[in-house]
Amino acid sequence: MNLIKHLVLLLAAPLVFAQTPNLSGFWELRFDSRNVPEASLTLDATKIAREQRAHDAHAIRWCYNLGVPFLMAQTPIDIIQNASGKEVAITFPYRGPSRHIYTDGRKHVNPDVFDPSSSGDSIGHWEGETLVVDTIGFSDEGVISIPGGGRRTVTSHLMERYRLVKNGQQLSVTSTWDDAQTFSKPHTYEFRYYRAPKGTEAREYDCNASDEERAKFLTGTPGL
């Protein structure tokens, strides 16, 4: 009986997925796309703000994988929603791994065999017309600053809710960070992406850590 139930669920999965909104396409932020309140930080997180800025500047200077949440603000982002209902992928124009959000019902990867990354380990599920994404397994690589204040750490937990608004012309992504090292209470903000104009193509910007002129600009005195 359990085998029959399992087969029925597998056969029904494509039908259920077909009824969910399609988030695929290029999305970009505009000047009015961010609703970011100030985060409530722990005392320790407040004290290391200078070190945090230095960490981020170093990551950009040396072309490290930039990671989440920094990449979510570098647009246009390209969302590809797998027709099988197994995965949603997000690619970015700047250096960093694509995000792979698995929507096939799997659990998070065992931390004993998973190497933390700047984008973490993401799994998702649909709640009606909203894609709910749960991400853990972050490293301290890349740009670690979080909109509104604070930083990403190896113990950070990110919950995101993706939903189409304005008749599918905007994509709302509400992010909530939970991390006792950084926040005295969970920190939530919202980005609203606009659907990019027809003809928008994927962009990829190179990063050359050996470019001395680039290094002088990033690390030298402004205006010289």
Q: Is residue 202 part of a domain?
A: yes
- With a CB cutoff of 8 Å and minimum separation 6, the contacts of 71 are 77, 92, 94, 96, 99, 119
- Number of domain units in the chain: 1
Length, in residues, of the chain: 224
Residue 58 lies in domain: 2-219
135: Cα within 13 Å, side-chain hemisphere: 28
Q: Is residue 224 part of a domain?
A: no
| Residue 40: predicted pLDDT | 97
Type of residue at 145: S
| Residue 11: predicted pLDDT | 46
Evaluate if residue 155 carries a pLDDT over 70. Answer: yes
Q: Is residue 128 part of a domain?
A: yes
CATH number at 138 reads: 2.40.128.20
Q: Give the Cα separation of 103 and 131 in Å (integer).
A: 9
Q: Is residue 156 part of a domain?
A: yes
Q: Is residue 40 part of a domain?
A: yes
| Residue 18: predicted pLDDT | 56
SS (H, E, C) 86-140: CEEEEECCCCCCCEEEECCCCCCCCCCCCCCECCCEEEEEEECCEEEEEEECECC
**What is the arithmetic mean of pLDDT over 199-221?**
93
Cα-atom radius of gyration of the chain, to the nearest Å? 19
Confidence of residue 102 (pLDDT cuts 50, 70, 90): very high
Q: What is the pLDDT of residues 5-64, one digit of tens each?
A: 444 444 444 444 457 899 999 999 999 999 999 999 999 999 998 999 999 999 999 999
